[in-house]
């Protein structure tokens, strides 16, 4: 059999899976028992879980997802923030305030000096991980702008430390451009297909290179071919039926696993939010309610247990609180979606969409800790070369205890000592004590030694 090289979404098989009769309780329980073996789920099982309406069975899905999340990720939640460098864009995505036909908005591409100022503001707040974001049009049409921006961000040293991992969310690139990203030392390359439903895709992408569905769908193949092995995929929920999107997304994941031996590092689950000048964003054609949103996270957690799930500040604090435990492993915090807004909150370049969670980083950290999680700023894996398939091996539960728990704790303590308000410091130290008490043996000894090192003034302690 020849191996296909380009991803292809098989809409017919998705329609068949979604057309099957609703599963009975014993089938659902069988699926959940299998999922708790941490081996993932096939398309038929995912379609079945998507059709469950009985509230008690739905609760069983949530409970199973919580168990898988706790087994694989423990108590950690990794924190990052987006850094929007430019809102110039040649595309016309019907849902986005940056789209080319949205003429009334203020456009801005930050200079490298301004990018350094934004970075310094984030470093001062305590961030260690940023996601560089841009529209698809660079000053002087030069992709070198993005490469320079990465260098600029990594180059900033402040009293509060430095950015240790730059992830990138920019439009799909040529293989050679991916190579250049890799050389710049990026963490994850991330891009969302927006919708895997081809007709819907064409209806909402009305100008520019983004009109080409297959060019976007093939981006991760080009990234892998260029050696970028941590990639992040996602769906913009609200454009098409979420059940269709889940099955199509999992086809994309399966394609990458078949072809490259490893799937995506992360999956993002943005929901459409209101955006200036976009009637479509205000009235999504397939709105996803809060219950279904939680179900999407839970089903993904069961279907691809070792893949990170990212939830952004598009969601309100309340929804975020209810959803973390179902499977989320990374969250953004203290975000702004207009270029320049960290260093100059009073400036008013257009923001991409409205946020649901406006709290500053310190408040999010305190809240997350009070909920029982360890807010982690760890960048250990990627800096020790544990990416792609190596990372997936490490994501196995035993390894988490050896590396990720101590790294999460030491990076959290560093944040608390250098940046936290007195209330957050108090809450955080209590949380560290409680989590440490649950560790045993070598992970506990290692965590204690790393925490001692941070207390005595060392920084960036990881294993
Ligand atoms: N411009 C590049 C692109 O589209 O590929 C980079 C990413 S874009 C700045 C970041 C993401 O924001 C998009 O992929 C899209 O999913 C999301 N987005 C756009 N408009 C949105 C809205 N109204 N609500 C929520 N997310 C939105
Ligand atoms: Fe441009 Fe990205 Fe917004 Fe589309 S989603 S208009 S490509 S910034």
pLDDT digits (tens, 9 = 90+) for 190-205: 999 999 999 999 999 9
Span from the CA of 257 to the centroid of ligand 2 (angstroms): 28
Place of tokens 């099982």: 45
Predicted local confidence at residue 394, as pLDDT? 67
98 lines ligand 2 (CB under 6 A): yes
Ligand nearest, relative to CA of residue 87: 2
pLDDT in tens, 234-291: 999 999 999 999 999 999 999 999 999 999 999 999 999 999 999 999 999 999 999 9
Average pLDDT of the residues of the chain:
93
Residue to probe by mutation, ligand 1, list 131, 133, 192, 339, most atoms within 8 Å of CB: 192
Predicted local confidence at residue 3, as pLDDT? 47
- In angstroms, the CA 253 to CA 248 distance is 9
- Is residue 359 very low, low, confident or very high in pLDDT (cuts 50, 70, 90)? very high
pLDDT surpasses 50 at 2? no
Predicted local confidence at residue 428, as pLDDT? 98
- In angstroms, the CA 13 to CA 15 distance is 5
Q: What percent of the chain has pLDDT over 70?
A: 97
pLDDT surpasses 90 at 102? yes
Ligand nearest, relative to CA of residue 101: 2
SS3 147: helix
432 lines ligand 2 (CB under 6 A): no
Q: Which atom of ligand 2 is nearest to the CA of 134?
A: 8
Q: Where are the domains of the chain?
A: 70-393, 399-455
Both structure tokens of 7? 């991803």
CATH classification code of 70-393: 3.20.20.70
Span from the CA of 381 to the centroid of ligand 1 (angstroms): 27
Q: Please name the residues in contact with 388: beta carbons below 8 A apart, sequence gap of 6 or more.
A: 229, 230, 260, 262, 265
- Is residue 100 very low, low, confident or very high in pLDDT (cuts 50, 70, 90)? very high
pLDDT surpasses 80 at 414? yes
Q: What is the DSSP string of 270-337?
A: PBP---TT-HHHHS-SS---HHHHHHHHHHHHHHSTTSEEEE-TTS-HHHHHHHGGGT--EEE-S---
pLDDT in tens, 203-240: 999 999 999 999 999 999 999 999 998 999 999 999 99
Predicted local confidence at residue 380, as pLDDT? 80
Predicted local confidence at residue 400, as pLDDT? 66
Please give the average per-residue pLDDT across 89-102, as a whole number. Answer: 96
Please give the average per-residue pLDDT across 51-72, as a whole number. Answer: 95
437 CB-side CA count, 13 A: 6
Strand 308-311 vs strand 76-86: parallel, antiparallel, or unpaired?
Answer: unpaired
Predicted local confidence at residue 1, as pLDDT? 37
Please give the average per-residue pLDDT across 48-61, as a whole number. Answer: 96
Nearest CA to ligand 1 atom 1: 135
Residue to probe by mutation, ligand 1, list 193, 270, 293, most atoms within 8 Å of CB: 270
Please give the average per-residue pLDDT across 103-121, as a whole number. Answer: 95
Predicted local confidence at residue 398, as pLDDT? 61
Ligand nearest, relative to CA of residue 281: 1
351 lines ligand 2 (CB under 6 A): no
User: Would you say 226 and 176 are in contact if contact means Cβ atoms under 8 Å apart?
Assistant: yes
Both structure tokens of 147? 């490469």
Q: Please name the residues in contact with 448: beta carbons below 8 A apart, sequence gap of 6 or more.
A: 436
Span from the CA of 124 to the centroid of ligand 2 (angstroms): 29
Q: Which atom of ligand 1 is nearest to the CA of 87?
A: 9
- In angstroms, the CA 116 to CA 113 distance is 5
Please give the average per-residue pLDDT across 328-354, as a whole number. Answer: 91
pLDDT surpasses 70 at 401? no
Of 395, 402, 410, nearest to 439 by C-alpha is 402
- How buried is residue 73: exposed, middle or buried, by Cβ count under 10 Å (0-12/13-18/19+)? buried
pLDDT in tens, 128-180: 999 999 999 988 779 999 999 999 999 999 888 999 999 999 999 999 999 99
Span from the CA of 94 to the centroid of ligand 1 (angstroms): 11
């Amino acid at each position: 059999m020849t191996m296909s090289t380009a991803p292809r979404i098989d809409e017919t098989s998705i329609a068949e899976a979604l057309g099957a009769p609703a599963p009975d309780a014993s089938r659902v329980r069988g699926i959940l028992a299998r999922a708790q073996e941490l081996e993932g789920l096939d398309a038929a099982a995912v379609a079945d879980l998507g059709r469950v309406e009985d509230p008690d069975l739905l609760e069983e899905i949530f409970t199973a997802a919580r168990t898988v999340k706790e087994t694989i990720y423990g108590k950690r939640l990794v924190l990052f923030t987006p850094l929007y460098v430019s809102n110039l864009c040649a595309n016309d995505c019907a849902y986005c305030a940056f789209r080319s036909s949205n003429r009334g908005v203020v456009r801005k591409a930050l200079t490298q000096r301004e990018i350094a100022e934004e970075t310094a503001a984030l470093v001062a707040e305590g961030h260690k991980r940023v996601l560089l974001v841009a529209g698809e049009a660079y000053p002087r049409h030069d992709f070198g702008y993005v490469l320079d921006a990465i260098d600029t961000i990594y180059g900033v040293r402040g009293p509060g430390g430095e950015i240790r991992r730059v992830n990138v969310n920019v439009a799909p690139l040529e293989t050679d451009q991916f190579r250049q990203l890799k050389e710049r030392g990026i963490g994850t390359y991330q891009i969302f297909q927006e919708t895997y439903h081809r007709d819907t895709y064409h209806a909402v992408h009305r100008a520019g290179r983004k009109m080409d569905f297959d060019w976007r769908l093939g981006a991760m193949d080009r990234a892998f071919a260029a050696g970028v092995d941590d990639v992040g995929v996602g769906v913009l929920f609200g454009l098409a039926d979420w059940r269709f999107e889940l099955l199509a997304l999992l086809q994309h994941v399966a394609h990458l696993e078949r072809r490259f031996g490893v799937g995506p590092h992360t999956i993002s689950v943005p929901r459409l939010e209101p955006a200036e000048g976009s009637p479509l964003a205000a009235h999504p054609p397939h709105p996803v309610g809060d219950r279904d949103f939680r179900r999407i996270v839970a089903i993904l957690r069961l279907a691809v247990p070792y893949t990170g799930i990212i939830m952004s500040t598009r969601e309100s604090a309340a929804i975020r609180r209810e959803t973390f435990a179902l499977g989320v492993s990374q969250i953004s915090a203290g975000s702004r979606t207009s270029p320049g807004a960290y260093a100059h909150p009073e400036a008013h370049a257009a923001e991409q969409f409205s946020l649901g969670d406006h709290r500053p980083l310190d408040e999010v950290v305190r809240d997350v800790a009070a909920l029982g999680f360890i807010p982690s700023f760890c960048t250990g894996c990627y800096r020790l070369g544990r990416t792609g398939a190596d990372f997936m091996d490490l994501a196995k539960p035993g390894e988490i205890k050896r590396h990720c728990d101590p790294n999460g704790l030491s990076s959290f303590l560093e944040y608390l000592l250098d940046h936290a308000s007195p209330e957050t410091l108090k809450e955080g130290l209590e949380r560290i004590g409680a989590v440490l008490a649950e560790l045993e043996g070598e992970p506990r000894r290692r965590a204690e030694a790393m925490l001692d090192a941070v207390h005595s003034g060392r920084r960036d302690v990881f294993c």
